[in-house]
């Protein structure tokens, strides 16, 4: 039996009852107390108020000099479709492909490109036209696949980029690349960079939060913690993965037999003893530790409060969909994402697996869309009606796209597609992205970019730009280099998709 | 820092040039032809007619004009670089040029010249070097810490564990003048010392228990981890430590340990992800190994040079690939196969296993002999039947057949003229069939007398003699199986009887043989039945012979088929066939026999090898294996299985070997595996001492390893000494331990670093001696209390006016909790263990097919082993480790962060590991001799912190204890819950309410900042 997680009310009572340093009967060094009073009010008051009083230093302050310019977005919600969703069956409409059914893709189109060894041995590269119907939506008249009926309803809020390309052709390096700007493990992830540079508006929660919801069909692909790791940046900027089962934050819950009041009492003693030690050693790390224990205590209340959906209206819950009350689902994660940015968390990342359709694409892709489409659209709508979309950037995309030619069996109704890094679709919504735009064009086979290529690092530079960061001036010295999220080569902010 | 008067290139100028200029005007790139990293280049006349630097004359130096320009098109660094020079930097550059613009080689590339130890009172030279720098400040220098603090600091530093209270007592009471040194010596010989030392090295070596990519399956190489522990406990000199790891396999008669040590270069992440490209994987592994070697021993960052010449360091791309060439012939495959033991591996049986193995191996060998003898007997006893044949047209029509002739055919049995040479039963007797007609015609022969099954490798054979005066231009034989679909014709295709008269598709059933017809003499014609579409086992039910008009004699029309081969020949034939198979097909055979099969029978002369293949064939392939062989084979198979299963239990470890034939190495353009550029040879960078190689020999990894520790190498001793400094003082003398190049931070105490490096090198790389030197310094022993001025002027404690105060590492924090709780199981070595871990750490990231998808935690002793032995899954490392900044070991890590986060607080408060330890610690406290609360509290406090609580602390603890008591007195349920965490036995003689109160108190003490800090 686990005890119930502390609730805000219980917490407030405990806070009121508790005796902090002042009346613990110990005389502390004046310097230590002064130090504590300087830092701690932000920590203690925050538990009782939703935000610290003006003038109190933040737990996660931004770096000096940041943001570089007025940000368009304060927070980012990044929906990562892990495995490589098929651009051909969702966004990149190619009606003329029907005539090419089961015909080989012309060599002039395929060129000398690298293939994965899953298909490089194939004798034929037969074209598999999408079996899904596309229709036009919104004032922008965007073509959208029938697999995304809900997302089709928000196309005028989306800035679609059809020509994103990446360097890597396999999952592991491509995932590492899209999230850290490098195929080599060990670099910092996008969310960590944002946390490092911009800090957080929220003192009760980590500045970078990650969800790893499982799709309906258990996927075979793995995720890697390096996709939300802080790499060479200080570890406090690593994404904190809120978990779908058990405690949402590791070790959040007091052990059975320890109540919130017990923990508060324990922390009071601990704080006093640590303060005593601070008086003795004068080491500022002790101050930080005291503050982090208080933060931990606040998280014991704020995280359950975050995940308590009883304050959401039935209408909101139904907007997101049936799974909204199922922890660990994509739908649940997206509603929590909204609640996190509402509370000032800087970066939220949802990594949804199962988009790697080498075979049985029509069946499995449909299932994936069913799992995600409604909640994705709901998130954008929900943010918009609350006035949050203007300051929240929503990002949607995978690590690469898929080939026009079929891998394995090809029939009118069934086919598979291999990895395709040369062009794929991603979209931005809110936070300064220009709704209703579509950027970049591909050839008739969605195999090559014909107009306006956008490298994944350009895309990331654009995200940073909207967050108020000049990607070229945002670096961290490591291994002898000024490390950047966007790498060492020249990258460009895609201004054409900004409002 | 420096005096106002003198400008030093190394200290003052290089950092400015490196940071602001070298990216475009350095070793890697020279925009506008300008290179600023050497005097000659910087002072050269440029295309623009100016000189960047005119030594002694800033006004004649274009560099000075440019950095002071206001025009954005002229100013350097240019605006788009986002770099600006401070006024101080401009001033330094101006003064440097004015004073002669003297260049110096980068400090870490200069030969190590042992500095003179400064004069001073302190016995330990380290302190005299430190004192020199401290003397230039006004920092108050702390006194030696009190003994409880000292012993705790030292115990953690040397063994990773706190001292026991008894040890503290002994040390505090020890009045000998060298009590501290004696303590150091005692701790240095503790087996835990090797464990603590190994931890730091394993970060650099990126050791873990899984492959790290894709499935991230388990990998077995913990013998390497255990060897590192042993190497430190044996105080293996660092030069040997280096050589064994980089090239132990190349040492003459390499020992088991020397081979295990090569695992250093097998610790890199590997994959077997479908769709990967073998060459790319092989390339990446070699790059990783090169970069890890470069960093671990030379403190340089090689990664930049993978794609381009290093912009800052003098390491060119070509030189990087020359180092890479040492690792590019690795024998391990690109695809790791997702297996536990990716070849090459070394089996290292324990003593009893070795003996069992010897016995079993001897038994197997004996049984192999038995099988071979049985095979020999069987081979000799099998008498293959002689070659066989059947004849349809020979001396007369066969019995039980009918013959029908076409219109106008004149058919007669006549004497053969001339008679067949060597007339035997096989070649036919004296008669033949004369066959003549004025038109194309045939004879059809049917009936049970000729019905048969097609034998193996049968050939249709016939003799025919065409009458020269009236010779047919074509002859034909047709065989009937289920239809007349198997025919062959010789001669003029157009004249082949019936051809023109038959339906087109029937013609498909006819083969036109190549052999030309000659008239006037007996001619033997033949064709394999397989060419006629007749496979062994198909029925033959009829024969027809035909000819175009004319006269001919036919004889010996029938089938020949070879004798059944002897078993020896059959075995060799089979072997020959396998030798021709593609590699993938061969992979289906056991590894032990694969290469022999590939070699083929003709190339194999070794009798043992031949016997091995024959044994395999006779037991696994031979369809007519006699019972005698089968029985002996069964016994061999049973013994082999027992041996194989034993081998499964015998630990193996991944080792590094080279391929028999070296791969060529190339500079890979832009670091792409498929863009080979210039070919490179093995070699070392030009800015470092030359590699010594025996004349006319291709340099080996052994040469490379010896070069690193040759004594002339400027980097290896500095890097090694700095690593130890970082380990014991928290921050290296070179803070950027991962980078000793131009972009790294210069040492805080250059002379001290060089002295330590020289001392280490010249002492025969005696690691333990250097460690002893470090921890016996006054600096290490100083109190870590921070004076305000120290905090202000030296917040990072680089000058060491105070002792090092650093947060314990992840492993130390957990090990301490287990240790003070009396739970720690000190057993050393072995497969990684799986202690408590929250649910859903592995599962959410795991692949469906991975053998590390589900975490099954161990029980019993495995829960309480030292953290060094925890199973490390790279894609989901244990949270108790990563939470406290342990690297995930995907790449080498030269330096850990020390973060301070709320997640750490939650772990220490709530993790079952720590709650259980708190309860066990509390139970120990209650069982200790003390009787009253104050004594017990003091015992608890001292067991964790080595010191007694001060009165105010005791007051706080007493109050807390009483509050906890009051709370649990009223709630037995909660009390019982709190004391029930973990698998270890809960003492029943203590009332749960009392134990619960003490548990929460112990939890408090274990969470103290002081508890998780090396004070």
Quick check: A109 pLDDT over 90? no
**Facing B906 at nearest CB: one of A214, A249, A472:** A249
Phi, psi angle pair for A138, to nearest 5°: 70, 175
Q: Give pLDDT, residue A50.
A: 35
Residues B329/B704, Cβ–Cβ less than 8 Å: no
Burial of A369 (0-12, 13-18, 19+ CB in 10 A): buried
Residues B270/B342, Cβ–Cβ less than 8 Å: yes
pLDDT in tens, B332-364: 999 999 999 999 999 999 899 999 999 999 999
Categorize the per-residue pLDDT at B663 as very low, low, confident or very high, splitting at 50, 70 and 90. very high
> Domain range spanning residue B408?
388-561
Length of chain B equals: 1015
Q: Give pLDDT, residue A115.
A: 73
Residues of A whose CB is below 8 A from B271: 172
Residues B173/B855, Cβ–Cβ less than 8 Å: no
CB contact under 8 A, B888 and A226: yes
Quick check: B425 pLDDT over 70? no
Categorize the per-residue pLDDT at B814 as very low, low, confident or very high, splitting at 50, 70 and 90. very high
**Facing A255 at nearest CB: one of B214, B903, B910:** B910
Q: Is residue B812 part of a domain?
A: no
By percentage, how much of chain A surpasses pLDDT 70?
Answer: 85
Residues A210/A351, Cβ–Cβ less than 8 Å: yes
How many helices and strands in chain B, by DSSP H and E?
A: 36, 20
Categorize the per-residue pLDDT at A24 as very low, low, confident or very high, splitting at 50, 70 and 90. very low
Q: Is residue B401 part of a domain?
A: yes
Tell me the average pLDDT across B923-936.
88
Nearest residue in chain A measured CA to CA from B313: A480
How many helices and strands in chain A, by DSSP H and E?
A: 12, 17
**Facing B906 at nearest CB: one of A114, A186, A296:** A296
Instruction: Please choose, from the candidates A465, A315, A299, the residue with its C-alpha nearest in 3D space to the C-alpha of residue A382.
Output: A315
Q: Give pLDDT, residue B484.
A: 87
Range with lowest mean pLDDT among A104-108, B501-505, B640-644? B501-505
Tell me the average pLDDT across B643-671.
92
Burial of A459 (0-12, 13-18, 19+ CB in 10 A): buried
Residues B954/B962, Cβ–Cβ less than 8 Å: no
Q: Give pLDDT, residue B78.
A: 86
**Facing A220 at nearest CB: one of B847, B902, B957:** B847
**Facing B875 at nearest CB: one of A27, A222, A258:** A222
Residues of B whose CB is below 8 A from A295: 902, 905
**Facing A186 at nearest CB: one of B310, B891, B1003:** B891
Residues of A whose CB is below 8 A from B314: none
Shortest distance between the Cα of A296 and any Cα of chain B, in A, equals: 5
Categorize the per-residue pLDDT at A16 as very low, low, confident or very high, splitting at 50, 70 and 90. very low
Quick check: B403 pLDDT over 50? yes
Domain A75-245+327-497 has CATH 2.60.40: no
Residues of B whose CB is below 8 A from A478: 738
Quick check: A272 pLDDT over 80? yes
Quick check: B529 pLDDT over 80? yes
Q: What is the separation, in whole angstroms, between the first and last Cα of chain B?
A: 29
CB contact under 8 A, B214 and A235: no
Nearest residue in chain B measured CA to CA from A168: B276
Got the DSSP string for B599-641? H-TTT---HHHHHHHHHHIIIII-TT--HHHHHHHHHHHHHHH
Q: What is the dihedral of CA B358, B361, B366, B368, to 10 degrees?
A: -170
CB atoms under 10 Å from CB of B183, counted, come to 22
Shortest distance between the Cα of A154 and any Cα of chain B, in A, equals: 31
Q: Give pLDDT, residue A1.
A: 41
List CB contacts of B528: < 8 A, sequence separation 6 or more. B457, B458, B459, B460
Categorize the per-residue pLDDT at A11 as very low, low, confident or very high, splitting at 50, 70 and 90. very low
Size of interface A-B (CB pairs under 8 A): 250
Residues in a beta bridge with B551: B436
- CA A486/CA A464 separation, integer angstroms: 9
Say whether B755 sits in a helix, a strand or coil: helix
Strand B665-668 with B676-680, pairing? antiparallel
Phi, psi angle pair for B412, to nearest 5°: -155, 145
pLDDT in tens, B942-960: 999 999 999 999 999 999 9
The mean pLDDT value of chain A amounts to 85
Categorize the per-residue pLDDT at B100 as very low, low, confident or very high, splitting at 50, 70 and 90. confident
Residues A81/A400, Cβ–Cβ less than 8 Å: no
CATH number, domain with residue B524 = 2.60.120.260
The mean pLDDT value of chain B amounts to 90
Residues of A whose CB is below 8 A from B106: none
Dmax (CA) for chain B in angstroms is 137
By percentage, how much of chain B surpasses pLDDT 70?
Answer: 96
Phi, psi angle pair for A41, to nearest 5°: -55, -40
List CB contacts of A411: < 8 A, sequence separation 6 or more. none
Tell me the average pLDDT across B711-730.
97
Categorize the per-residue pLDDT at B171 as very low, low, confident or very high, splitting at 50, 70 and 90. very high
Q: Give pLDDT, residue B416.
A: 86
Shortest distance between the Cα of A218 and any Cα of chain B, in A, equals: 8
* Among candidate residues B561, B591, B620, the one where a domain is terminated: B561
Q: Give pLDDT, residue B831.
A: 96
Residues B393/B568, Cβ–Cβ less than 8 Å: no
Q: Where are the domains of chain A?
A: 8-57+258-297, 75-245+327-497
Tell me the average pLDDT across A486-493.
85
Phi, psi angle pair for B308, to nearest 5°: -155, 160
Token pair 């940046």: residue: A233
Q: Give pLDDT, residue B757.
A: 98
Record the tokens describing residue B64, joined without a space.
């000075």
**Facing B901 at nearest CB: one of A221, A235, A245:** A235
Say whether A172 sits in a helix, a strand or coil: helix
Burial of B178 (0-12, 13-18, 19+ CB in 10 A): exposed
List CB contacts of A367: < 8 A, sequence separation 6 or more. A215, A216, A217
- CA B757/CA B236 separation, integer angstroms: 17
Strand B441-446 with A476-478, pairing? unpaired
Q: Is residue B135 part of a domain?
A: no
CB atoms under 10 Å from CB of B418, counted, come to 9
CB contact under 8 A, A244 and B840: yes
* Number of domains observed in the structure of chain B: 3
CB contact under 8 A, B978 and A186: no
CB contact under 8 A, B1007 and A270: yes
Shortest distance between the Cα of B993 and any Cα of chain A, in A, equals: 11
Record the tokens describing residue B73, joined without a space.
């098109």
Residues B841/B855, Cβ–Cβ less than 8 Å: yes
SS (H, E, C) B792-805: HHCCCCCCCCCCCC
Q: What is the CA radius of gyration of chain A?
A: 25
Buried b (16+ CB within 10 A) or exposed e, A386-395: eebbebbbbb
CB contact under 8 A, B277 and A214: no
Categorize the per-residue pLDDT at B229 as very low, low, confident or very high, splitting at 50, 70 and 90. very high
Categorize the per-residue pLDDT at A29 as very low, low, confident or very high, splitting at 50, 70 and 90. very low
Q: Is residue B32 part of a domain?
A: yes
Q: Give pLDDT, residue B509.
A: 73
Q: Is the ipTM of this complex over 0.90?
A: no
Residues of A whose CB is below 8 A from B882: 225, 235
Buried b (16+ CB within 10 A) or exposed e, B735-769: bbbbbbbbbbbbbbbbbbbbbbbbbbbeeebbbbb
- CA B920/CA A263 separation, integer angstroms: 19
Q: Give pLDDT, residue A217.
A: 64
List Cα–Cα distances, B107 to B15, B19, B117, in angstroms.
12, 16, 19
pLDDT in tens, B557-588: 999 988 777 888 888 888 988 888 777 677 77
List Cα–Cα distances, B172 to A404, B167, B179, B625, B769, in angstroms.
77, 9, 9, 81, 25
Record the tokens describing residue A362, joined without a space.
């029509």
Quick check: B486 pLDDT over 70? yes
Tell me the average pLDDT across A420-424.
95
Q: Give pLDDT, residue B384.
A: 67
Residues B463/B523, Cβ–Cβ less than 8 Å: yes
Instruction: Please choose, from the candidates B183, B268, B263, the residue with its C-alpha nearest in 3D space to the C-alpha of residue B231.
Output: B263
- CA B327/CA B334 separation, integer angstroms: 13
- CA B101/CA B8 separation, integer angstroms: 10
Residues B375/B614, Cβ–Cβ less than 8 Å: yes
Q: Give pLDDT, residue A8.
A: 38
Buried b (16+ CB within 10 A) or exposed e, A3-25: bebbeeebbeebbeeeebbeebe
Residues of A whose CB is below 8 A from B981: 255-257
Quick check: B44 pLDDT over 90? no
Nearest residue in chain A measured CA to CA from B80: A472
Residues of A whose CB is below 8 A from B269: 185
Shortest distance between the Cα of A406 and any Cα of chain B, in A, equals: 15
Categorize the per-residue pLDDT at A7 as very low, low, confident or very high, splitting at 50, 70 and 90. very low
CB contact under 8 A, A269 and B955: no
Buried b (16+ CB within 10 A) or exposed e, B505-534: eeeebbbbbeeebebeebbebebebeebeb
**Range with top average pLDDT, A311-325, A402-416, B415-429:** A311-325
**Facing B978 at nearest CB: one of A258, A285, A478:** A258
- CA B497/CA B478 separation, integer angstroms: 11
Tell me the average pLDDT across A33-45.
33
CB contact under 8 A, B844 and A26: no
**Facing A266 at nearest CB: one of B274, B743, B1003:** B1003
CB atoms under 10 Å from CB of B830, counted, come to 14
CB contact under 8 A, A185 and B890: yes
Phi, psi angle pair for B313, to nearest 5°: -90, 155
Nearest residue in chain B measured CA to CA from A21: B956
- CA A371/CA A369 separation, integer angstroms: 5
**Facing B275 at nearest CB: one of A118, A212, A470:** A118
Nearest residue in chain B measured CA to CA from A262: B964
Tell me the average pLDDT across B647-665.
94
- CA B1001/CA B1011 separation, integer angstroms: 13
Categorize the per-residue pLDDT at A206 as very low, low, confident or very high, splitting at 50, 70 and 90. confident
CB contact under 8 A, A479 and B674: no
Dmax (CA) for chain A in angstroms is 86
List CB contacts of B416: < 8 A, sequence separation 6 or more. B428, B429, B430, B431, B432, B553, B555
Nearest residue in chain B measured CA to CA from A261: B967
Helices (H), B911-947: 912-927, 933-945
Quick check: A34 pLDDT over 80? no
CB contact under 8 A, A300 and B952: no
Range with lowest mean pLDDT among A277-281, B139-143, B238-242, B392-396? B392-396
Q: Give pLDDT, residue B500.
A: 47
Which residue out of B148, B217, B275, B896 would a mutagenesis test of the A interface target, given it has the greatest number of A Cβ atoms within 10 Å? B275
pLDDT in tens, B437-463: 888 888 999 999 889 988 888 899 999
Shortest distance between the Cα of B829 and any Cα of chain A, in A, equals: 28
pLDDT in tens, A243-263: 877 778 899 999 999 999 999
**Facing B977 at nearest CB: one of A27, A206, A257:** A257
Rounded (5°) CA angle B17-B18-B21: 55
* Among candidate residues B561, B583, B604, the one where a domain is terminated: B561
List CB contacts of B515: < 8 A, sequence separation 6 or more. B490, B525
Instruction: Please choose, from the candidates B1, B14, B11, the residue with its C-alpha nearest in 3D space to the C-alpha of residue B742.
Output: B14
* Among candidate residues B75, B90, B105, the one where a domain is terminated: B105
pLDDT in tens, A356-404: 998 889 999 999 999 999 999 999 999 999 999 999 999 999 999 999 9
Top pLDDT among B730 and B276 is at B730
Q: Give pLDDT, residue A27.
A: 31
Residues of B whose CB is below 8 A from A419: 275
């Amino acid at each position: 039996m686990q005890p119930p997680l502390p609730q805000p009310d219980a917490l407030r009572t405990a806070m009121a009852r508790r005796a902090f340093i002042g009346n613990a009967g110990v005389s502390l060094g004046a310097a230590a107390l002064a130090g504590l009073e300087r830092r701690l009010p932000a920590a203690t008051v925050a538990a009782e108020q939703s935000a610290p009083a003006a003038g109190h230093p933040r737990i996660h302050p931004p770096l000096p000099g940041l943001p570089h310019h007025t940000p368009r977005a304060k927070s980012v919600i990044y929906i990562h479709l892990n495995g490589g969703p098929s651009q051909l069956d969702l966004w990149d409409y190619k009606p003329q492909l029907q005539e090419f059914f089961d015909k080989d893709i012309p060599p002039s189109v395929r060129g000398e490109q690298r293939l994965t060894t899953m298909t490089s041995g194939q004798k034929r590269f037969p074209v598999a036209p999408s079996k899904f119907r596309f229709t036009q939506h919104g004032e922008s008249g965007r073509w959208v696949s029938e697999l995304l009926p809900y997302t089709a309803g928000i196309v005028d809020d989306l800035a679609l980029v059809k020509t994103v390309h990446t360097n890597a052709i396999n999952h592991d390096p491509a995932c590492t690349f899209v999230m850290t700007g490098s195929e080599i493990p060990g670099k910092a992830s996008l969310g960590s960079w944002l946390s490092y540079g911009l800090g957080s508006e929220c003192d009760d929660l980590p500045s970078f939060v990650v969800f790893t919801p499982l799709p309906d069909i258990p996927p075979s692909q793995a995720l890697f913690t390096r996709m939300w790791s802080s790499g060479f940046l200080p570890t406090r900027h690593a994404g904190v993965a809120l978990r779908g089962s058990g405690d949402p934050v590791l070790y959040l819950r007091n052990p059975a037999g320890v109540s919130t009041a017990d923990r508060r009492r324990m922390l009071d003693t601990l704080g006093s003893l640590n303060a005593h030690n601070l008086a003795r050693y004068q080491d500022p790390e002790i101050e930080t530790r005291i503050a982090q224990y208080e933060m931990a205590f606040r998280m014991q209340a704020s995280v359950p409060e975050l995940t308590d959906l009883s304050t959401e209206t039935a209408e909101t819950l139904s907007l997101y969909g049936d799974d909204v009350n199922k922890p660990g689902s994509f739908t649940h994660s997206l509603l929590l994402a909204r609640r996190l940015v509402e509370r000032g968390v800087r970066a939220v990342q949802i990594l949804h697996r199962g988009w790697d359709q080498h075979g049985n694409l029509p069946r499995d892709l449909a299932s994936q869309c069913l799992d995600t489409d409604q909640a994705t659209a709901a998130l954008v709508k929900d943010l918009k009606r609350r006035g949050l979309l203007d300051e929240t950037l929503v990002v949607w995309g995978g690590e690469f796209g898929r080939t026009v030619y079929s891998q394995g069996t090809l029939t009118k109704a069934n086919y598979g597609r291999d990895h395709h890094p040369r062009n794929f679709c991603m979209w931005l919504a809110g936070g300064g992205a220009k709704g209703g735009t579509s950027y970049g064009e591909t050839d008739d086979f969605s195999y090559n970019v014909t107009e306006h290529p956008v490298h994944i690092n350009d895309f990331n530079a654009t995200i940073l730009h909207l967050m108020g960061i000049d990607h070229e001036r945002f670096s961290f010295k490591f291994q002898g280099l000024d490390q950047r999220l966007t790498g060492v080569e020249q990258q460009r902010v895609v201004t054409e998709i900004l409002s | 820092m420096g005096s106002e008067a003198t400008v030093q290139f190394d200290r003052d100028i290089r950092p400015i040039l490196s940071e602001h200029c070298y990216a475009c005007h350095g070793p890697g790139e020279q925009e506008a032809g300008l290179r600023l990293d050497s005097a000659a280049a910087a002072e050269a006349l440029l295309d623009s007619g100016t000189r960047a630097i005119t030594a002694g004359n800033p006004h004649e130096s274009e560099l000075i004009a440019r950095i002071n320009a206001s025009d954005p098109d002229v100013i350097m660094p240019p605006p788009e670089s986002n770099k600006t020079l401070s006024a101080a930097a401009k001033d330094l550059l101006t003064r440097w040029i004015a004073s002669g613009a003297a260049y110096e080689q980068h400090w870490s590339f200069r030969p190590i010249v042992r500095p003179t130890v400064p004069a001073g009172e302190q016995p330990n030279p380290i302190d005299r070097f430190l004192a020199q720098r401290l003397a230039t400040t006004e920092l108050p220098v702390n006194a030696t810490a009190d003994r409880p603090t000292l012993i705790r600091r030292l115990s953690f530093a040397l063994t990773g564990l706190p001292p026991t209270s008894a040890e503290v007592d002994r040390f505090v009471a020890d009045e000998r003048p060298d009590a501290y040194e004696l303590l150091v010596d005692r701790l240095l010989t503790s087996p835990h010392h090797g464990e603590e030392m190994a931890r730091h090295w394993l970060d650099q070596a990126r050791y873990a228990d899984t492959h790290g990519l894709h499935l991230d399956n388990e990998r077995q190489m913990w013998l390497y981890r255990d060897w590192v522990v042993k190497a430190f406990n044996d105080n293996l000199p660092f030069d040997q430590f280096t050589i064994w790891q980089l090239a132990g396999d190349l040492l003459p008669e390499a020992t088991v340990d020397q081979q295990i040590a090569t695992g250093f270069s097998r610790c890199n992440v590997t994959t077997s992800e479908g769709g990967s490209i073998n060459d790319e994987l092989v390339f990446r592994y070699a790059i990783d190994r090169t970069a890890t070697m470069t960093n671990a021993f030379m403190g340089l960052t090689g990664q930049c040079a993978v794609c381009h010449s290093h912009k800052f360091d003098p390491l060119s791309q070509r030189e990087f690939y020359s180092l890479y060439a040492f690792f590019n012939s690795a024998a391990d495959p690109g695809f790791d196969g997702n297996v536990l033991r990716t070849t090459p591996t070394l089996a290292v049986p324990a003593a009893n296993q070795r003996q069992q193995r010897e016995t079993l191996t001897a038994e197997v060998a004996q049984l192999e002999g038995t099988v071979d003898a049985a095979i020999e007997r069987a081979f000799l006893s099998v008498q293959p039947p002689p070659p066989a044949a059947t004849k349809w047209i020979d001396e007369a029509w066969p019995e039980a057949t009918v013959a029908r002739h076409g219109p106008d055919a004149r058919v007669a049995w006549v004497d053969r003229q001339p008679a067949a040479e060597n007339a035997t039963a096989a070649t036919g007797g004296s008669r033949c069939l004369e066959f003549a007609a004025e038109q194309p015609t045939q004879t059809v022969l049917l009936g049970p007398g000729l019905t048969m099954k097609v034998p193996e490798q049968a050939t249709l054979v016939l003799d025919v003699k065409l009458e020269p005066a009236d010779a047919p231009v074509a002859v034909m034989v047709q065989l009937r199986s289920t239809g007349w679909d198997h025919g062959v014709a010789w001669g003029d295709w157009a004249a082949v009887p019936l051809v023109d008269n038959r339906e087109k598709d029937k013609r498909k059933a006819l083969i036109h043989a190549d052999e030309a017809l000659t008239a006037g003499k007996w001619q033997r014609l033949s064709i394999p039945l397989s060419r006629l579409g007749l496979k062994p086992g198909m029925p033959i039910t009829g024969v027809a012979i035909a000819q175009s008009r004319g006269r001919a004699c036919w004889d010996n029309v029938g089938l020949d088929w070879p004798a059944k081969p002897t078993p020896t020949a059959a075995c060799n034939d089979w072997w020959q066939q396998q030798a021709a198979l593609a590699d993938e097909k061969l992979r289906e055979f056991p590894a032990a026999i694969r290469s022999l099969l590939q070699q083929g029978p003709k190339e194999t002369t070794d009798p043992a090898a031949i016997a091995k293949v024959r044994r395999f064939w006779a037991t696994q392939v031979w369809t007519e294996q006699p019972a005698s062989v089968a029985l002996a084979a069964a016994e061999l198979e049973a013994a082999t299985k027992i041996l194989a299963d034993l081998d499964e239990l015998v630990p193996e470890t991944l080792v590094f070997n080279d391929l028999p034939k070296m791969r060529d190495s190339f500079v890979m353009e832009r670091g792409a595996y498929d863009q080979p550029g210039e070919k490179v040879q093995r070699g070392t960078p030009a800015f470092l001492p030359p590699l010594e190689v025996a004349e006319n020999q291709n340099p080996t990894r052994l040469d490379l390893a010896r070069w690193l520790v040759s004594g002339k190498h400027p980097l290896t001793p500095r890097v090694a000494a700095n690593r130890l400094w970082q380990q014991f003082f928290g921050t290296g003398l070179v803070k950027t331990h991962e980078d000793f190049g131009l972009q790294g931070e210069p040492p805080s105490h250059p002379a001290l670093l060089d002295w330590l490096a020289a001392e280490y090198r010249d002492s025969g790389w005696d690691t333990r001696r250097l460690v002893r030197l470090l921890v016996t310094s006054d600096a290490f022993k100083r109190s870590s209390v921070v004076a305000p001025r120290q905090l202000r002027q030296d917040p990072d404690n680089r000058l060491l006016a105070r002792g090092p105060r650093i947060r314990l590492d992840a492993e130390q924090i957990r090990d301490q909790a287990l240790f003070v709780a009396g739970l720690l199981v000190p057993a050393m070595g072995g497969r990684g263990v799986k202690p408590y871990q929250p649910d859903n750490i592995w599962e959410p990231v795991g692949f469906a097919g991975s053998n590390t998808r589900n975490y099954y935690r161990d029980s019993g002793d495995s829960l309480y082993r030292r953290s060094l032995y925890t199973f490390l899954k790279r894609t989901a490392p244990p949270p108790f480790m990563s939470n406290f900044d342990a690297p995930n070991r995907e790449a080498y890590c030269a330096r850990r962060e020390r973060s301070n986060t709320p997640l750490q607080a939650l772990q220490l408060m709530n993790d079952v590991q720590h709650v259980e330890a708190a309860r066990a610690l509390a139970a120990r406290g209650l069982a200790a001799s003390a009787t009253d609360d104050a004594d017990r509290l003091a015992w608890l406090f001292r067991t964790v912190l080595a010191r007694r609580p001060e009165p105010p602390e005791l007051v706080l603890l007493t109050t807390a204890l009483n509050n906890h008591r009051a709370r649990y007195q009223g709630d037995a349920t909660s009390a019982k819950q709190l004391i029930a965490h973990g698998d270890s036995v809960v003492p029943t003689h203590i009332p749960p309410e009392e134990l619960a109160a003490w548990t929460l108190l112990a939890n408090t003490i274990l969470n103290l900042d002081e508890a998780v800090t090396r004070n």
